[in-house]
Chain A
Amino acid sequence: MKVIVDLAKCQDHGQCAIAAPVVFQMDEEGKLVWDGNPDESQRFEAEEAADVCPVQAILIQD
């Protein structure tokens, strides 16, 4: 599973970090950091994160 975040869209809402804390985190400066190749066990949470992103910046491939 590949996780892509369109940083031109992302506005650091941090909703993804609540939905999938293993894949997405907000760093000290409030910027998003994420795992681009998370384990398959994270799929449900990652899909959830993509759904709740207010600006729909997250893409999940295969």
Chain B
Amino acid sequence: MSGHIAVVGASLAGLRTAEQLRATGHTGPITVLGDEPHPPYNRPPLSKEILAAPGDHSAEQLHASVAFRRRALVDDVDFRLGRAVTAADLEQRRLTLSDGTELGFDGLVAATGLRPRRLPLPGPAVGRHVLRTLQDCVGLRGELRPEARVVVVGAGFVGCEVAATALRLGCRVSIVEPAGAPMNRVLGAELAQAVQRHHETAGIRFHTGRSVAGILGREQVSAVDLDDGTTLGADIVIEAVGSLPNTEWLAGNPGLDLGDGILCDNLLRAAGADRMVAVGDIARFPNPLFDALPRRVEHWSIPADTAKRAAATLTAQLAGREADPTPFTPVPSFWSDQLDLRFQSFGSPALADEVRLHEGDPDHLHGGVLATYHRRSEHVGTVAINLPPARQRELREAFTALAAAA
């Protein structure tokens, strides 16, 4: 028996899973359902190249430059776009779509990713932005004019990237971050402070340890109030305060744990469900490389890695075979481009209790820095800033070695 597989979510994780289902020998029909109108596209450029690209471009033109190539492997996969899945009945194996239609399935892949968290503050809608989708990017692009006053709320990686791009476009940019120096949680205090000094020298103003108390303006944003009484004039507010997993469509199915994304085992099988896997940003799974605690990982590398494994698991289940029990130990990795800095991370630096600086000078990040991250002295992460790409292999291999030992 092969059966029909429904993939919910038509972005990187959904696309890679559809490809891998074919690659691992699933021959039955595959339907990929996505609520965005566009075929799967690459998100990282939305805060970088695409946000900065000069000229007027329609969403279609911009989409063409970030669309994932369509491999022959998925020629016969049915992509149904522009419609959300609003409910899933795992008992009856049936999905309900926003256009009212229903769709049965034998196997289910959850690939619905995240949406931006919003600040729970009233105020005008015009000038307030988040950045997750191409549509968000098109809306923001049009407003990032030279001299525009931009307040970015949240100094995580996406917030810092957007701030850097806005600065390059000639905007006057401030970042408000309650938790301290930018990307503190991942980089650790010393490097985070060094990055803040670097970005300040370039012209970004930081308000750390402060949070936003109010957003002012009638129809259009005019200012932002901070909790210490400071008022920052603003034409544009960009909320980059983290994300929420898109799991509402799965509500009402007893057994699932939707506490933070979808709880899975190490083979990406959703806990409490049969023949259902989760992939990408939404999957919360244990990685024996680090420990037994299930975590979600919001890195670009994870959709492809989880897709491979989840597809193999589901194909085996539908064929009535045992899923391959070999532990799944992907090496998380991500990059980030901010001004003249390229960050590269391997492993999970955020887990560390100690940072060791090996190369470079935090006061000259541009010249290259290498730091390793340790938990109870065990190596759990590596961060490189502006190191030559030729050295990536060696940095990555530190973790392949770990994986082999796990």
Contact = CB atoms under 8 A, between A and B. Distances in A.
A45 interface: no
A56 interface: yes
A54 B71 contact: no
Nearest to B389: A14
Interface string B141-176: 000000000000000000000000000000000000
A3 to B, nearest CB: 13
Contacts of A27: 390
B356 interface: no
B269 interface: no
B129 interface: no
Nearest to B45: A55
Interface secondary structure of B, over-half rule: helix
Give chain A's interface secondary structure class.
loop
Interface residues of A, number: 20
Contacts of B42: 54-56
Contacts, number: 44
Nearest to A18: B393
Contacts of B337: 11
B396 A18 contact: yes
Interface in A45-62: 47, 50-52, 54-56, 59
Interface of A: 9, 11-15, 17-18, 26-28, 30, 47, 50-52, 54-56, 59
Interface of B: 16, 42, 44-45, 49, 65-66, 68-69, 71, 300-301, 304, 335, 337, 388-390, 392-393, 396
7 contacts: A17-B390, A18-B396, A26-B388, A30-B388, A47-B71, A52-B304, A56-B42
